[in-house]
Chains A and B, each alone.
Chain A
């Protein structure tokens, strides 16, 4: 007779997002606009710093969402301390270009001569894609800072642009290599490309909301990543509403019973609850679809009623990144 072992202990909880990132040096956070990229980047940075990693948060393109989240009014092109073991750099293309050129030429006056004149200014603004590659070049530089035995940063977190532009940015080294074929620009693009596409060094974190359009866009983004898909560590689902009650299915039977009283105030409350039930259902369907289609670990974060995230909200999120097990589909 065959004896079956009784159900084993519940399988051990999966790793948290931070644990899944392991020793990777660079984390790129991207997703549809408005899905909480900056919040996720900031909280992830706080979680990593708490684990003792010297962490640098980077935002690009003159964005300052991270800066304002972390209570910095206007971040300049400078590495700022924003917490214990946590720093922030808000980048923009012009300063990054000056930085790059000055480093290449070793002479600031030459930069001024060549780039700060009325001819080159428009040229730089107009050559599309130049800002992306230049800013990624700065990220590469930062990743190499320090000596071989003691790198300056344990972890760089890049708050990347939204989906389409994000993909273009990540693809910009490859595009540049294609266009230049040889020369110093080519060599630069190549080493940036190598860093970005190395699964041992670079991970990607996607953000989305549990709604149809953001989920579609997350799936498109994932497809668009091509071979970089294997670098995606997980997808963070933000703003998941608390359900009004469980089980939701009971609403179908309850609603007609509830509307038997036609007092307007009461009917309104029932209608509001109906709205709440519908959004919860829709959110669940979207999350499920996302998990199944991506086949990736996800992390659901609760909707917060605060208009402005405070330090303690960010810390609560950081805690989720450090400890909450990812859900695997």
Chain B
């Protein structure tokens, strides 16, 4: 059985990097893992040591040997158009029907340029990976929050859309005669649409919709399967201690709870390094400026070392307040994994491995390991 792990959260919090690091971690723990990213930025490919990533899963050579022989990592980037096309070809009753859909102008438009399609296709690709039965776990990197909300509702919206009654209203007028027939039956609706959108557009959309209707019988159960998949997945909320990211994380949490989707914990990225002592250490008497360094510069450096304690203590207080808020929102049992700021972006596999040590792994039962130690927030 394939376990689906979904990383969601606001933009800019490091979802793509953490998704990759999580996948690396699970692969090193001996699992067969695929990471599906929607981020077309070259950087992920770079950090995985690849020239580029495509729609087909690519085997990633890990820097460290996997503990168990089975463990391996594959990565791929969502290709919306290719996935859509496969869906149409698989679902169409005949290949001629498939060609008709693929040739429709509205289809091409929907498949390439419009928002929303991305979300449908991310789910579809995920389903394909699960059905391939090649992986123990698939890690899904999702689009930024507002889109991700769409993605959670995509299966529901699609299935409502595929409701035959809806299609009946919209799909009939593929010809002028058809339009007139419909006009007689539900004249107001069509003439209103006509005034708003224009009749030629209506006809093209209607044609596209009627093609979709032909696909309904095969697509509808699939939408149900995707929905089931989401309900047995594990959702991790990626966030940072920054307030804006947190607000979105909490909104997302609410959304998950409302939809009864299984929330498994927060991955809090970019936590500041934490000074352990209460006070800045006194200046040791034993140190001397290196030879040739201007005394004024040396003084500024010593001041900076002294100031660093206060600076990072302040950042840590901010982090603690954030963690407390997250815990409060999700209840005392919520797991929190804190991931320290790297002074450099993760640009290679070794860095991803290092990041992965801070992320949930799987124990023998396939359950997430205990939370990485988190300093209890001081209220």
CA A305 to CA B311, docked complex, whole Å: 9
A199-232: CB near B (< 8 Å → 1, else 0) gives 0000000000101111011001000000000000
Determine which of B114, B195, B312 lies in contact with A129 in the assembled complex, contact meaning CB atoms within 8 Å: B114
Cβ–Cβ contact B305 & A273, under 8 A: yes
Q: Which residues of chain B are near A104, meaning CB under 8 Å? A: 195-196
B153-164: CB near A (< 8 Å → 1, else 0) gives 000011011010
How far apart are A282's CB and chain B's nearest CB, in angstroms?
7
Question: Does B368 belong to the interface (CB within 8 Å)?
Answer: no
Question: Does A9 belong to the interface (CB within 8 Å)?
Answer: no
Question: Does B166 belong to the interface (CB within 8 Å)?
Answer: yes
Q: Which residues of chain B are near A168, meaning CB under 8 Å? A: 113-115
| Contact residues, A156-188 vs B (CB, 8 A) | 161-165, 168-169, 171, 175, 178-186
Q: A34-B245, A104-B195, A119-B165 are in contact. Are A216 and B106 (CB under 8 A)?
A: no
Cβ–Cβ contact B343 & A279, under 8 A: yes
Binds B, one of A145-153, A259-267, A292-300, A311-319: A259-267
Determine which of A63, A114, A118, A254 lies in contact with B301 in the assembled complex, contact meaning CB atoms within 8 Å: A254
Cβ–Cβ contact A129 & B170, under 8 A: no
A250-264: CB near B (< 8 Å → 1, else 0) gives 110110111011010
Determine which of A35, A122, A178, A209 lies in contact with B109 in the assembled complex, contact meaning CB atoms within 8 Å: A178
Binds B, one of A42-50, A71-79, A241-249: A241-249
Cβ–Cβ contact B11 & A33, under 8 A: yes
Question: Does B57 belong to the interface (CB within 8 Å)?
Answer: no
Cβ–Cβ contact A179 & B105, under 8 A: yes
Determine which of A61, A122, A269 lies in contact with B306 in the assembled complex, contact meaning CB atoms within 8 Å: A269
How far apart are B167's CB and chain A's nearest CB, in angstroms?
9
Cβ–Cβ contact A211 & B345, under 8 A: yes
Cβ–Cβ contact A282 & B344, under 8 A: yes
Q: Which residues of chain A are near B204, meaning CB under 8 Å? A: 179
Cβ–Cβ contact A273 & B109, under 8 A: no
Q: Which residues of chain A are near B49, meaning CB under 8 Å? A: none
Q: A34-B245, A247-B297, A307-B321 are in contact. Are A129 and B197 (CB under 8 A)?
A: no
Q: Which residues of chain A are near B43, meaning CB under 8 Å? A: 212-213, 216
Q: Of residues B163, B166, B247, B304, which shows the largest number of chain A Cβ atoms within 10 Å of its Cβ?
A: B304
Q: Of residues B192, B243, B309, B321, which shows the largest number of chain A Cβ atoms within 10 Å of its Cβ?
A: B192
CA A117 to CA B120, docked complex, whole Å: 24
Q: A34-B11, A179-B204 are in contact. Are A123 and B170 (CB under 8 A)?
A: yes
Closest residue of B by beta carbon distance from A60: B146
Question: Does B218 belong to the interface (CB within 8 Å)?
Answer: no
Closest residue of B by beta carbon distance from A181: B200
B85-99: CB near A (< 8 Å → 1, else 0) gives 000000000000000
How far apart are A274's CB and chain B's nearest CB, in angstroms?
8
CA A201 to CA B275, docked complex, whole Å: 51
Q: Which residues of chain A are near B287, meaning CB under 8 Å? A: 257-258, 260-261
B177-220: CB near A (< 8 Å → 1, else 0) gives 00000000000110011011111110011000000000000000
Cβ–Cβ contact B113 & A171, under 8 A: yes
How far apart are A182's CB and chain B's nearest CB, in angstroms?
6
Question: Does A65 belong to the interface (CB within 8 Å)?
Answer: yes
Q: Which residues of chain A are near B199, meaning CB under 8 Å? A: 183
CA A72 to CA B130, docked complex, whole Å: 44
How far apart are A287's CB and chain B's nearest CB, in angstroms?
15
Q: Which residues of chain A are near B351, meaning CB under 8 Å? A: none
Cβ–Cβ contact B157 & A63, under 8 A: no
Closest residue of B by beta carbon distance from A309: B243
Determine which of A123, A131, A212, A268 lies in contact with B275 in the assembled complex, contact meaning CB atoms within 8 Å: A268
Determine which of B41, B115, B293 lies in contact with A128 in the assembled complex, contact meaning CB atoms within 8 Å: B115
Q: A33-B11, A105-B192, A305-B318 are in contact. Are A253 and B293 (CB under 8 A)?
A: yes
Q: Which residues of chain A are near B196, meaning CB under 8 Å? A: 101, 104-105, 184-185
Closest residue of A by beta carbon distance from B147: A165
Q: Which residues of chain A are near B143, meaning CB under 8 Å? A: 164
Cβ–Cβ contact A278 & B277, under 8 A: no
Cβ–Cβ contact B277 & A110, under 8 A: no
Determine which of A118, A186, A217, A263 lies in contact with B281 in the assembled complex, contact meaning CB atoms within 8 Å: A263
Question: Does B116 belong to the interface (CB within 8 Å)?
Answer: yes
Cβ–Cβ contact A266 & B188, under 8 A: no
Cβ–Cβ contact B12 & A175, under 8 A: no
Question: Does A3 belong to the interface (CB within 8 Å)?
Answer: no
Cβ–Cβ contact A275 & B343, under 8 A: yes
B204-239: CB near A (< 8 Å → 1, else 0) gives 110000000000000000000000000000000000
Cβ–Cβ contact B115 & A132, under 8 A: yes
| Contact residues, A19-37 vs B (CB, 8 A) | 32-36
CA A7 to CA B280, docked complex, whole Å: 47
Q: Which residues of chain A are near B276, meaning CB under 8 Å? A: 265, 268
CA A320 to CA B312, docked complex, whole Å: 27
How far apart are A8's CB and chain B's nearest CB, in angstroms?
31
Q: Which residues of chain B are near A209, meaning CB under 8 Å? A: 12
A sample of 14 cross-chain residue pairs with beta-carbon separation below 8 angstroms, ordered by A number, consists of: A34-B244, A38-B244, A62-B146, A122-B157, A131-B115, A180-B197, A185-B198, A250-B298, A251-B301, A258-B287, A266-B281, A269-B275, A273-B308, A275-B341
Given A65-B244, A122-B157, A268-B276; 8 other pairs, CB 8 A cutoff: A122-B166, A132-B115, A179-B201, A182-B200, A185-B196, A214-B12, A275-B343, A276-B308
